[in-house]
């Protein structure tokens, strides 16, 4: 079993700048969180193992774009649900969404595929990314996400996300109901 630790790491020397920024941001807001260090999490199966240790709903964080590649979305949904592009497109009233390019994710969120996180919105100073949250995430007390790198996961209160983190970033969110069906 992986060990949960409270707060940021003591030593930042070997950590990427984007990860340091996340911890500094959360600490400055006085958001309490638990941290779990682990091997790179590239699959949802690994994330589900992390979920057991973290004691929080692990979210899929999907970076999406419209057909014209002019509008960008970050979807947070439970890892247990199947993502259906058609369903989300209909819920948002947008025609055909697809996965955004890695270069655009890096530019807007400061992170790469496999490390996508709502905390990447720290880097979206111009609010170019629309945050979309499945209602089942909002019903939980805690959610789990990466600190913009996939070698650690954080447990954060959903209320801290909606009442502290997003307002500080001047980011709103759209709540959707996704069933994972056609």
How would residue 13 be classed by pLDDT, with cut points 50, 70 and 90? confident
The pLDDT tens digits for 105-151 are: 999 999 998 889 999 999 999 999 999 999 999 999 999 999 999 88
Q: Is the pLDDT assigned to residue 1 strictly greater than 60?
A: no
* Residue 181 belongs to some domain of the structure: no
How would residue 160 be classed by pLDDT, with cut points 50, 70 and 90? very high
Query: What is residue 181's predicted lDDT score, i.e. its pLDDT?
Result: 57
| Residue position matching structure tokens 């999490």 | 41
* Residue 111 belongs to domain with CATH number: 3.90.960.10
* Residue 82 belongs to some domain of the structure: yes
Q: Is the pLDDT assigned to residue 64 strictly greater than 80?
A: yes
* Residue 64 belongs to some domain of the structure: yes
Question: Which domain covers residue 154, as residue numbers?
Answer: 4-171
* Residue 52 belongs to some domain of the structure: yes
Q: If you average pLDDT over every residue of the chain, what do you get? A: 90
* Residue 182 belongs to some domain of the structure: no
Query: What is residue 47's predicted lDDT score, i.e. its pLDDT?
Result: 66
* Residue 33 belongs to some domain of the structure: yes
The pLDDT tens digits for 36-61 are: 888 787 666 776 677 788 888 888 89
Token reading at 1: 């079993």
Counting DSSP H helices and E strands in the chain, the numbers are 7, 9
The pLDDT tens digits for 75-92 are: 999 988 999 999 999 999
User: Count of domains in the chain?
Assistant: 1
* Residue 178 belongs to some domain of the structure: no
Nearest Cα neighbor of 137 from 103, 166, 111 is: 166
> Taking the model in full, what pTM does it have?
0.91
What is the C-alpha to C-alpha distance for residues 64 and 23, in angstroms, rounded to an integer? 25
* Residue 72 belongs to some domain of the structure: yes
Token reading at 139: 């019903």
């Amino acid at each position: 079993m992986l060990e949960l630790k409270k707060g940021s790491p003591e030593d930042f020397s070997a950590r990427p700048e984007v990860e340091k920024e996340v911890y500094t941001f959360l600490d400055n807001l006085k958001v309490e969180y638990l941290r779990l260090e682990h091997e790179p999490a590239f699959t949802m199966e690994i994330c589900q193992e992390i979920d057991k240790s973290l004691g929080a709903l692990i979210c899929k964080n999907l970076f999406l774009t419209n057909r014209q590649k002019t509008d960008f979305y970050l979807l947070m949904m439970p890892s247990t649900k199947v993502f259906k592009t058609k369903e989300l497109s209909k819920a948002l009233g947008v025609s055909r969404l697809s996965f955004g390019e890695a270069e655009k994710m890096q530019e807007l969120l400061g992170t790469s595929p496999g490390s996508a996180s709502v905390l990447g919105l720290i880097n979206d100073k111009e609010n170019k990314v629309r945050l979309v949250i499945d209602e089942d995430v909002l019903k939980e007390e805690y959610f789990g996400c990466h600190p913009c790198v996939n070698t650690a996961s954080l447990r954060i209160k959903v209320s801290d996300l909606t009442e502290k983190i997003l307002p500080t970033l001047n980011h709103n969110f759209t709540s959707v109901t996704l069933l994972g069906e056609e």
